[in-house]
Amino acid sequence: MHMRITFVLPHAGMSGGVRVVAEYARELKARGQRVVVVSEPEGRESLLVRAKRLFKTGSWRRRDKSSLGSHVEAARVEHHVVKGSGALNDSDFPDADVMVISWFGRAEAVRTVSERMGAKVYFLQHDDRSIVGTTFAKLHPRILQTWRFGWTMVAVSSWVADRVAREVPGARVKVAGNGVDRVVFAPRERCKRSGPLVLGIYFTTSPFKGCDVALEAYQIARGKFGERIQLVAMGLGERPGADLFPPEAEYVQSPSREKIGDFYAGCDLWLFTSREEGYGLPILEAMSCGTPVLATRTGAAEELCSGGGGVLVNVDDVDALVEQICQFERMSAMDWQRMSEAAMRTAAANDLISATDRFERELLDIVGSQQRMK
C-alpha cells in the first residue's frame, strides 16, 4: 500500500531527532511512499526551540549558520518551510494519509489542522520534559497535555512509552525502535588491543546527558591504572576548557559522517551515561562498529544491551561505572571479542532497514484503521 506521509518538525537542522526523521523519510521515499517534511524556519526561533538547544548543548547560542547543515536536505526529500513557528492550518500542508509530528511544540501547532491533512501520529523520541528541564518546568503541563490529545503515539523505546503510560493511563502508545545506518557505521572485525583501554564518550554540558558522571568515573579509573586508561571524546563545539574536560584526553570536534564510524571503532569501550534518554543512538552506533558499551539504564539501553554487547549500571552510579571499567581493563581478549561480536549482532538486528520496516508497518496499521472507520 502506498501512503502519502507528512513529517512535521521544528527547525530541520542537525539534531539527532531530525536525523532519525530524515532517515525514515529517505528510506520511505525509496520504497515508493510520497514523503514531505514540513518544518519551521530557522530564523524565527521560539522559546521552546531555544530551550531545547540549551539543554542539549548547554548554550542558548546558535552556531554560525555557515557551519550548519540539514539532515533533511541531505535526505533529498520534499521539504516545505512554513512562514512562522506558531499555530499552523490546512494551507500549510499537502493532502496526506498520515501526519507524523515530532516535538511537543509542533504538536500544539497542528492540533486544529484537519484530518484531511492526514491521521495525526505523535512520534515520541523523548520525554520532552527531560529536554526542557527543570528551568522550564512551567512547560511540563503543556507537554503532558499534548499526550492527551488522543492521537496514536509511536515511541522510540519502552522507556518513553512507560513514561506516557504512567501519566496518561490508556493512551495508545506503540513502540518502534530506531535503527542504525550500517553503511555509515560499518561493522568491522575487532580484537582487544594490547595497549591502553580507550574509553569513548560524546561530550556535552547538557545535564541530562551525564557526561560529568562519565568523566568522574574515568578520573577514578585513571587514578587506579594510570595511562592504561585513556579517554577520547567527540562533540559539537570547540575543545572544552580544562575545568570541564581532562587536558590529557583527546577531543575531536564534529567528526565528518565519513569518519564517525572510525571514531567509534577506535574505542575499546563506549560510555553512555545519560540520566534520561529517549533512545540512545550512540549505543547502537558504537555496537555497529564492534565496540562494547557501558550504559546507564535509560532509553533503549536495557533492550540493546540484553544481547551481550553491553553492560548496564544504574543512573549516576559512579562506583559501578568504575568497577566495570576496571573489569574491561582486565578482560581477556577472547571475552572482549565475544562482547564485540554480540554488539554487532544487536546492531544487525536493529539496522535502519529493519527499523524502517517496523515504522512503516505502524503507519500502515494506523492509516488502515482510519480508512476502516470512514
Spans of all domains in the chain: 4-179+352-373, 197-349
197-349 and 4-179+352-373 share a CATH fold:
yes
Pick 4-179+352-373's CATH classification: 3.40.50.970, 3.40.50.2000, 3.30.390.50, 3.40.640.10: 3.40.50.2000
CA distance 241 to 243: 5
Residue written as grid cell 561480536: 341
**How many CA atoms, within 13 angstroms, populate the side-chain half-sphere of residue 364?**
10
User: In sequence order, what are the residues at sequence separation of 6 or more whose Cβ sits closer than 8 angstroms to the Cβ of residue 188?
Assistant: 265, 289, 290
Question: For position 43, what pLDDT does the model report?
Answer: 58
CA distance 349 to 119: 30
- Give the DSSP letter string of 208-241: GG-HHHHHHHHHHHHHHHGGGEEEEEEESSSPPP
SS3 content of the chain, % helix, strand, coil (to 5): 45, 15, 40
pTM here? 0.89
Question: For position 132, what pLDDT does the model report?
Answer: 85
- CA-based nearest residue to 41, from 67, 76, 10, 18: 10
Query: 14 phi and psi, to 5 degrees?
Result: -115, 25
Mind listing the pLDDT tens digit of every residue in the chain (374 residues)? 789 999 999 988 888 899 999 999 999 999 999 999 999 887 545 555 556 555 555 554 554 443 446 899 999 999 999 986 678 999 999 999 999 999 999 999 999 999 899 999 999 999 999 888 888 899 999 999 999 999 999 999 999 999 999 999 999 899 999 999 999 999 988 888 889 999 999 999 988 899 999 999 999 999 999 999 999 999 988 999 999 999 999 999 989 888 999 999 999 999 999 999 999 999 999 999 999 999 999 999 999 999 999 999 999 999 999 999 999 999 999 999 999 999 999 999 999 999 999 999 999 999 988 777 76
Contact 19, 71 (CB under 8 A): yes
Q: Which CATH class is domain 197-349?
A: alpha beta
